[in-house]
Amino acid sequence: MGEKKAFRFLVEGGKATAGPPIGPSLGPLGLNVMMVVNKINELTKDYAGMRVPVDVIVDLETKEFEVKVGIPTTSALIIKELGVKKGSGATGHDWIGDLKMEQVVKIARIKWPQLMAKTLKAAVKEILGTCVSMGVKVEGKHPKEVMREVDEGAWNKLIEQAERGLSEGASGAS
């Protein structure tokens, strides 16, 4: 097994190109840069419109490569769910959208592996905190109000179902 070298790039989902920074980084290694770019685009197409961290691990001897896709930022996931361009410039005064609690839980499930949260409930509260700073309401309310509801157990059933779904994995049943 040859020596490996890792590269990290931040790319727009499905829109990586052979230009900078990918081409100049990988080209001198004798790699087929277009093969790498095509693989990155294939793996990141579901993140269209979002910037996604991507690691490319290259075996310097064999010129084989592996692409690992990271998770977009919480704010990018919220923006995608809302279908808006950016967060509020005046949080607390201007609201850019309103998420359903199911959407908050969905984002928490995606981000949980990266967060410091020990439970999905704690991850949901972190996502709600980001909603506060972005000017996003949840269920028509200020996210801090929804956080209190989470603390009081109002959303336990939804969160527990999502947590069970994670632990059971994809069963393939529809």
Q: Single out the residue in 49, 69, 89 at which a domain terminates.
A: 69
| Helix/strand/coil percent split, the chain, to 5 | 50, 20, 35
CB 94 within 8 A of CB 135: yes
Last-in-domain residue among 69, 92, 116: 69
Tokens of 126: 């972190």
Residue 41 CA to residue 36 CA, distance in Å, equals 9
The angle formed by the CA atoms of residues 80, 84 and 90, to the nearest 5 degrees, is 120
Q: How many domains does the chain have?
A: 2
CATH number at residue 27: 3.30.1550.10
Task: Evaluate whether residue 156 is within a structural domain.
Answer: yes
Picking from 127, 76, 126, the residue whose alpha carbon sits closest to that of residue 103 is 127
- Statement to judge: residues 86 and 135 lie in one domain: yes
Of the three residues 41, 69, 97, the one that is the final residue of a domain is 69
Q: Within a 13 Å sphere around the CA of 23, how many CA atoms are in the beta-carbon half?
A: 6
For residues 114 and 97, membership in a common domain is answered with yes
Please indicate, yes or no, whether residues 61 and 78 belong to a single structural domain of this protein: no
Question: Is 146 in the same domain as 85?
Answer: yes
Q: Side-chain half-sphere of 134: how many Cα atoms within 13 Å? A: 27
* H/E run at residue 74: helix 74-82
Query: The domain containing residue 99 runs over which residues?
Result: 74-168
In a shared domain, residues 99 and 159: yes
For residues 24 and 85, membership in a common domain is answered with: no
Decide if 174 is inside a domain: no
- Do 53 and 137 reside in the same domain of the chain? no
Maximal C-alpha separation, the chain: 58
pTM for the full predicted model: 0.72
The answer to the question of residue 120 being in a domain is yes
| Amino acid of residue 131 | C
pLDDT tens digits, the chain, 174 residues: what are they? 579 999 999 998 999 999 999 999 999 999 999 999 999 999 999 888 888 899 999 999 999 999 999 988 898 899 989 988 888 788 777 899 999 999 999 999 989 888 888 999 999 999 999 999 999 999 999 999 999 999 999 999 999 999 888 766 544 443
Q: Which of 29, 32, 2 is nearest to 18 (CA)?
A: 32
Closest CA to 70 of 87, 57, 51: 51
